[in-house]
């Protein structure tokens, strides 16, 4: 099973556990501004992901992976990203980026 982890700069970041094999990362740019980063991963077993608020509170939530949308194939996860990020003729695009440093060392 494949999952998409989402982080939004200035709002929150998602930190996977070692039970998610990270495969690729994409920045969602809207008129040149990065609004979100998506990391695609293979779910190796049920786990929890941390969602850390980037405000002064720094609240950390542990979200069970059973609440994440799942995809049978990586191609289906890619199709979902395209669906999330296409808005007709607006300047919105997905740009492949290296996996986040913190994620690759987890």
29-86 tens-digit pLDDT: 999 999 999 999 999 999 999 999 999 998 999 999 999 999 999 999 999 998 888 7
pTM score, whole prediction = 0.87
CB atoms within 10 A of CB 9: 13
Extract the tokens encoding 63: 């979200």
Q: Could you give the count of Cα atoms lying within 13 Å of 1 in the half-sphere of its Cβ?
A: 13
What's the rounded Cα separation, in Å, for the pair 12 and 10?
Answer: 6
């Amino acid at each position: 099973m494949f999952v998409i982890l989402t982080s939004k700069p200035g709002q929150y970041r998602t930190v996977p556990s070692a039970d998610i094999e990270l495969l690729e990362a994409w920045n969602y740019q809207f008129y040149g501004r990065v609004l979100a980063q998506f990391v695609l991963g293979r779910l190796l077993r049920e786990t929890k992901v941390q969602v850390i608020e980037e405000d002064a509170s720094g609240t950390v939530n542990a979200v069970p992976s059973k609440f994440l949308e799942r995809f049978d194939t990586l191609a289906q996860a890619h199709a979902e990203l395209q669906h999330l990020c296409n808005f007709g003729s607006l300047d919105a695009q997905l740009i492949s980026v290296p996996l986040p440093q913190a994620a690759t060392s987890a």
